[in-house]
Every structure is written in structure tokens, then in C-alpha cells.
Amino acid sequence: MVIIEVKNLEKTYYGDGVETPALRGVSFLIKEGEFVAIMGPSGSGKSTLLHILGFLDRPTKGEYKFLGKSINEFSDDELAHTRNKKIGFVFQTFNLLSRLTVLDNVKLPLTYAGIKESLQEKIAKEAIDAVGMGHRAYYLASKLSGGEKQRAAIARAIVQSPPVIFADEPTGNLDSKSGQVIMEILQNLNKKGHTILLVTHETYTAEYAERIIKMKDGGIESDNNVYHRRLIGKDHFIK
């Protein structure tokens, strides 16, 4: 099944009488269960593309279908619901609330979704355990290392079992060892059935995916399978 389909996608920003094209005629498909990395230097359009795919922005031209439905057919409420239930986001800056515990951070999407409070802790703890952070559930986010913060952020992203996970430079603020742990978690989530779209500028990180789309100047430069994929040695966290 095709999860994401984009055709001739364009995005232009306007300001002070100046047009700045960020995306130029981008087209590709992502099928259910794929792990795809989008690579490119700063200014290549990869983050703009991810924002559109994650319903955080809309294209200027072109078509974007999510699960077979054009986003032009989504109402604002439907977009918000899809963003909350169907997509998990992982960001370079973690976006955790520093004064809350790991558990309370992971519970937030459940609160927004109207899940009964009596069920929230059980569901959140399962997500936390899945990323190997059970021993940190009651730690304040401000007390965590960078790698632990990203693992907590992934737990928050998967707490509602979304079919798609968008990861925007998830290892960008981490040392190499912590970054490897994060990529192993994402690869394991993919093995469990999540479709993953990773944005990165690092070849090493992108090679954990099974396919790499390279962008340049707002367009697609290449779209190829990874023939020497980095594979995890064993399942460290996902149960």
C-alpha cells in the first residue's frame, strides 16, 4: 500500500517582493513499511519537504496524497487528527518539556487525544520500555543526557502507535555512540511495521535506511536503494 505520494510538489516563499523557491517539482512514492532517508545539504529543501509531508505546511503547487487521500481534501480538523494519530515526530532538538518527567512528556499526546487518564500511564510506560528508558520514567527531562532525551522523544512519538514516523535530523545533536543507539531504535521500529521517513545530512546515518532520496536545490538528485545497508546486530530495545 502506498502511504505517501507526491507529484510535482513545489513550495515558494514570498517576502518583501522576493520569491524564494524551496521545492521544485518533487515527485516520489513511499510504500507501507519502507525506511526512507532524505539527504541533502542545508538549503536543499529537505526540511521544507518534511514539514509538508507532516502537515505542518502546505505546498504552493503539486499534489500530496497521504494514505490515498489528497491533503487538499482534508479539513483543518482532519489534518490535526491525522497529524496526532497517524504520524509520530522526532526532532533534532527533542522538544521535550524540561520541567516534566519522561512519563509525563510521553503521556502528552494521549492527553491531547482524549485517552482516559486511567489508561495513559500504562500505554506511556509501554512506549518508554520499548526504547529502553524504563529506568528513567520518573526523571525530569532536564536531567537526561542528549541520547536519553532523544529516546524519550521517540517514546512520545510512538505512544499512539502511528503508522508513520518522521525523524528530522534525530542524531544531529548527539555523539556517535548515542546516535547509533537512536538509529538502531528507528531500525527496530521499522522492523515492527512502522514506515519511517528520516531527514539527515549524514551519509552514515542515512545508510541505516533501505532507500536514500538525495535532494539538491529543491529537487531530487537521485533516488536509490541502499546496497550496503547498516544493520543492527540485535534487537536492543523493541519488544
Please write down the HEC assignment for all residues of 54-96. Answer: CCCCCCCEEEEEECCEEHHHCCHHHHHHHHHHCEEEEECCCCC
Q: Quick one: average pLDDT of 48-52?
A: 93
Please write down the HEC assignment for all residues of 97-122. Answer: CCCCEHHHHHHHHHHHCCCCHHHHHH
- Which H or E element spans position 28? strand 18-31
Residue 114 pLDDT class (50, 70, 90 cuts): confident
Q: Quick one: average pLDDT of 31-49?
A: 94
Query: Residue 233 has what pLDDT?
Result: 65
- Examine the pLDDT at 133 and tell me if it is beyond 50: yes
Q: Cα–Cα distance between 13 and 21 in angstroms, integer?
A: 6
Could you give the percent of the chain with pLDDT greater than 70? Answer: 97
Query: Residue 39 has what pLDDT?
Result: 95
Whole-model pTM?
A: 0.90
Of 118 and 209, the one with more pLDDT: 209
First to last CA, the chain: 25
Grid coordinates standing for 131?
Answer: 526504547
Grid coordinates standing for 190?
Answer: 521499522
Query: Residue 113 has what pLDDT?
Result: 86
**What are the DSSP calls for 141-200, one per residue?**
GGGS-HHHHHHHHHHHHHTT--SEEEEESTTTTS-HHHHHHHHHHHHHHHHTT-EEEEEE
Query: Residue 21 has what pLDDT?
Result: 92
Q: Quick one: average pLDDT of 203-220?
A: 94
Residue 238 pLDDT class (50, 70, 90 cuts): very low
Phi and psi at residue 177, to the nearest 5°: -65, -45
pLDDT digits (tens, 9 = 90+) for 55-113: 888 899 999 999 999 998 888 888 888 888 899 999 888 899 999 999 999 999 999 88
Instruction: Enumerate the β-bridge partners of residue 223.
Output: 213
Sign of the alpha-carbon dihedral angle for 89, 94, 97, 100? positive
Picking from 126, 147, 146, the residue whose alpha carbon sits closest to that of residue 137 is 126
pLDDT digits (tens, 9 = 90+) for 144-190: 999 999 999 999 999 999 999 999 999 988 998 899 999 999 999 99
Please state, rounded to an integer, the average pLDDT across all residues of the chain: 91
pLDDT digits (tens, 9 = 90+) for 78-94: 888 888 889 999 988 88
Type of residue found at 92? Q
Q: Cα–Cα distance between 145 and 235 in angstroms, integer?
A: 22
